[in-house]
């Protein structure tokens, strides 16, 4: 019996001779990460067992990105715990405000993720790195503490579901729409405990930013991980961001033809005629955009680990150029990293946003989780390029979040209501 | 271990933002977190519960973010166990790692608000004293039993380091 790409990556990180879905393994970790919410708890647990060194100071990343720049005293204290720990243990990949970015955009950009790697993150959107052919999964703080101590993590080898996308994608659709329609199809627990393997011609033709968006939201279907087999796009991305070469083993990493899947789901993407919007209060509550055109909005967020990359900002600016944000709408644009910020400055995107009446923020997870930089009051409604629209996620329990691509979010900012991008182009 | 408590019924897809909203994540103290358990979704939840109460929920309990503050808040508020049709995987890991007893059972939907439950983890049985019924629960896989018996992940790691 052949192996899936996920099983191959996991097997190569154990001393085991065989691997199969359902098996419990103790796997070596290539990179473990935590942020200013999850790492303080991990550090507390780490220190509890009385050890005085980390397993490898080059394989731990600590990124204060959620409530930073510190939004209040309590968050400042949390961020300081990270800084102190990083200093004490001489952690190489600690990124202070001004050098940081949203972790899941930052680490690939820094060249820290390669095909075939095993990445553990105390953040549920760690699954993003599967876009580069890595096995990456979110865990809690105690798991991160364990990895910091011994460099290993316990995992149950997941079953895989294969998602194959055929056909030509409608010009207004993006990676975000692909993953939203998929979650809408299988539900928020449709891939519970499973690896989601994305493939087919549509994925092959999709740029890396679109692939990051897709793998990022695997967790929204309950998935343990999302993964895409590496190809020429992956290798080009790695070449751009890393000095080290990709080995033949990493380059040719693929699922075997006779690998076992619990399910294979095929989509003809031409059936998706319009961009998707996830309505409150679940990412699976999907409607085509034209059914929502009478929904008035008060806020728009373009950013996050899902859609805060340069191509997201480019398309948003392209739509917004020469137009204005609706007088009754706040538009908040958040580049995911400092590099993306700088690139947006160089390309003149920031000028477009500011002239249109939008805010251009420093990198932060901020409003996505109702942290800061755009909290909703009672009765307010936001259309956002982020990943979750749970009740009260962005602020007051009686506020609402709609999830969409940067195209739909930006068109809505101009119209003051949920809008199809073709209405403003 | 035998757990006794009154059932508190919750629905499907209870996410970690509902369990503990992000604005309360600036502490790691279970007791502090417990005060704000379900702060935005259930009015006065933390005052309503009695020590030892058991949460009984539908499918996909604990979905969403990886915040370990969610099981910590549940534990800190004095909840003794969570019974659900299914758990989201990060919540499942976190609960095991921090020693919050959780039980996956298809019989969860038979349990009603306020039912008196008696759970015997060793025997693998949930007794519904109010309805006079006994539900059998599947044992955890061997590895997870080992983690639970050693008192959670960090104790397991400590023992591993002591052995090597």
pLDDT tens track for B3-40: 999 999 999 999 999 999 999 999 999 999 999 999 98
Flag if B89 and A193 touch (Cβ within 8 Å): yes
Q: What percent of chain B is helix, strand and coil (3-state, nearest 5)?
A: 35, 20, 40
Domain contains B18: yes
A361 and A373 Cβ atoms separated by less than 8 Å: yes
Flag if B23 and A392 touch (Cβ within 8 Å): no
User: Which residue in the set A37, A45, A192 is minimally distant from B89, CB to CB?
Assistant: A192
Decide: residue B10, CB within 10 A, 0-12 exposed, 13-18 middle, 19+ buried: buried
A5-267 matches A276-423 in fold? yes
- Letter string b/e over residues A24-44, b meaning 16 or more CB atoms within 10 A of that residue's CB: ebebbbbbbbbbbbbbbbbbe
A369 and A123 Cβ atoms separated by less than 8 Å: no
Give B38's DSSP letter.
T
State how far the Cα of A258 lies from the Cα of B72, in Å rounded to an integer.
43
Domain contains B116: yes
List phi, psi (to 5°) of A266. Answer: -115, 140
Tokens of B2: 């035998």
A74: CB partners within 8 A, 6+ apart = B26, B27
Three-state DSSP class for A166? Answer: strand
pLDDT value of position B43: 66
pLDDT lower than 50: segments of chain A: none
**Which contiguous run of DSSP H or E holds residue A153?**
strand A152-156
**Which contiguous run of DSSP H or E holds residue A323?**
none
Chain B from 2 to 41: CB within 8 A of any A CB: 13, 15, 17-18, 21-23, 25-28, 40-41
Q: Does B59 touch chain A (CB under 8 A)?
A: yes
Tokens of A287: 């409607």
CA distances from B68 to A252, A276, A400, B94 (A): 37, 31, 25, 6
State how far the Cα of A124 lies from the Cα of A225, in Å rounded to an integer.
10
Residue B42 predicted with pLDDT over 80: no
CATH of A276-423, one of 3.40.50.720, 3.30.499.10, 3.50.30.20, 3.40.50.300: 3.30.499.10
User: Which residue in the set A156, A370, A388 is minimally distant from B23, CB to CB?
Assistant: A370
B22 and A370 Cβ atoms separated by less than 8 Å: yes
**Which contiguous run of DSSP H or E holds residue A222?**
none
Strand A24-28 to A152-156 pairing: antiparallel
Residue A247 CB neighbours (<10 A): 12
User: Which residue in the set A142, A189, A392 is minimally distant from B17, CB to CB?
Assistant: A392
How many pairs of residues across A and B have Cβ atoms under 8 Å apart?
A: 139
**Domain span holding position B21:** 2-138
Chain B from 80 to 109: CB within 8 A of any A CB: 86, 88-90, 93-94, 97-98
Domain contains B50: yes
CA distances from B11 to A390, B56, B59, B89 (A): 14, 8, 8, 17
- Closest by CA position to B84, among listed B67, B65, B64, B63: B63
DSSP-assigned beta bridge partners for residue A120: A32, A137
CATH number at residue B34: 3.20.19.10
Looking at this predicted complex, what is its ipTM? Answer: 0.94
Domains in chain B: how many in total?
Answer: 1
State how far the Cα of A376 lies from the Cα of A393, in Å rounded to an integer.
9
CA distances from A255 to A1, A126, A309, A366 (A): 11, 21, 28, 37
DSSP-assigned beta bridge partners for residue B81: B54
Superfamily of domain A5-267: Aconitase, domain 3 (3.30.499.10)
- Closest by CA position to A176, among listed A400, A408, A335: A408
Domain boundaries, chain A: 5-267, 276-423
Q: What is the dihedral of CA A140, A141, A147, A152, to 10 degrees?
A: -20
Flag if A138 and B98 touch (Cβ within 8 Å): no
List phi, psi (to 5°) of A149. Answer: -80, -50
* pLDDT tens-digit readout, B111-155: 999 999 999 988 889 999 999 999 999 888 999 989 988 989 999
Domain contains B152: no
User: Which residue in the set A75, A139, A154 is minimally distant from B90, CB to CB?
Assistant: A139
């Amino acid at each position: 019996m052949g192996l899936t790409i996920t099983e191959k990556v996991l097997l190569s990180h154990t001393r085991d001779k065989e691997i199969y879905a359902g098996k419990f393994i103790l796997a070596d970790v290539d990179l473990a990460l935590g942020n200013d919410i999850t790492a303080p708890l991990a550090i507390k647990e780490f220190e509890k067992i009385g050890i005085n060194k980390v397993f490898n100071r080059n394989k731990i990343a600590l990124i204060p990105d959620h409530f930073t720049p510190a939004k209040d005293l309590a968050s400042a204290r949390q961020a300081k715990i990270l800084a102190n720990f990083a200093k004490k243990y001489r952690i190489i990949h600690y990124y202070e405000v001004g050098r940081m970015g949203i972790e899941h955009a930052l680490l690939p950009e820094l060249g820290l993720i390669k095909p075939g790697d095993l990445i553990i993150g105390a953040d549920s959107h760690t699954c993003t790195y599967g876009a580069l052919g890595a096995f990456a999964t979110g865990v809690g703080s105690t798991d991160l503490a364990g990895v910091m101590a011994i460099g290993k993590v316990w995992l149950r080898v997941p079953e895989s579901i294969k998602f194959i996308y055929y056909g030509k994608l409608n010009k207004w659709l993006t990676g975000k729409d692909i993953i939203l329609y998929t979650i809408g199809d299988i539900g928020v627990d449709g891939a519970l405990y499973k690896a989601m393997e994305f493939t087919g011609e549509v994925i092959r033709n999709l740029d890396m930013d679109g692939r990051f968006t897709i793998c990022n939201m695997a967790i929204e279907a309950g998935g343990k991980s999302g993964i895409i087999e590496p190809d020429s796009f992956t290798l080009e991305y790695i070449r751009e961001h890393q000095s080290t070469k990709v080995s033949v083993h990493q380059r040719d990493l693929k699922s075997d033809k006779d690998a076992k899947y619990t399910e294979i789901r095929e989509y003809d993407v031409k059936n998706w005629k319009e961009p998707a919007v996830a309505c409150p209060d679940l990412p699976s509550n999907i409607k085509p955009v034209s059914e929502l055109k009478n929904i008035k909005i008060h806020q728009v967020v373009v950013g996050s680990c899902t859609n805060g990359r340069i191509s997201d900002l480019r398309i948003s600016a392209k739509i917004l150029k020469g137009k204005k944000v609706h007088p009754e709408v706040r538009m908040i644009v958040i580049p995911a990293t400092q590099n993306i910020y700088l690139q947006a400055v160089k390309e003149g995107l920031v000028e477009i946003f500011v002239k249109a009446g939008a805010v251009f923020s420093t990198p932060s997870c901020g409003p996505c989780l109702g942290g800061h930089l755009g909290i909703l009051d009672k009765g307010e409604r936001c259309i956002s390029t982020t990943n979750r629209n749970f009740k009260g996620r962005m602020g007051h329990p009686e506020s609402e979040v709609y999830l969409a691509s940067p195209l739909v979010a930006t068109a809505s900012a101009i119209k003051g209501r949920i809008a199809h991008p073709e209405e403003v182009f | 271990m035998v757990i006794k408590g009154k059932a508190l019924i919750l629905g499907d897809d209870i996410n970690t933002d509902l369990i503990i909203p992000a604005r309360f994540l600036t502490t790691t103290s279970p007791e502090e977190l417990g005060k704000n358990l379900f702060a935005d979704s259930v009015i006065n939840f933390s005052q309503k519960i009695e020590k030892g109460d058991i949460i009984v929920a539908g499918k996909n309990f604990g979905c969403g973010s990886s915040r370990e503050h969610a099981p910590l808040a549940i534990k800190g508020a004095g909840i003794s166990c969570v019974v659900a049709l299914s758990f989201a995987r990060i919540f499942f890991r976190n609960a095991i790692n921090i020693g919050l007893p959780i039980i996956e059972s298809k019989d969860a939907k038979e349990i009603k608000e306020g039912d008196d439950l008696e759970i015997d983890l060793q025997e693998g049985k949930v007794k519904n004293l109010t309805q006079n019924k006994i539900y059998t629960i599947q044992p955890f896989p061997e590895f997870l039993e080992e983690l639970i018996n050693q008192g959670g992940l960090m104790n397991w790691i400590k023992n591993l380091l002591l052995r090597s």
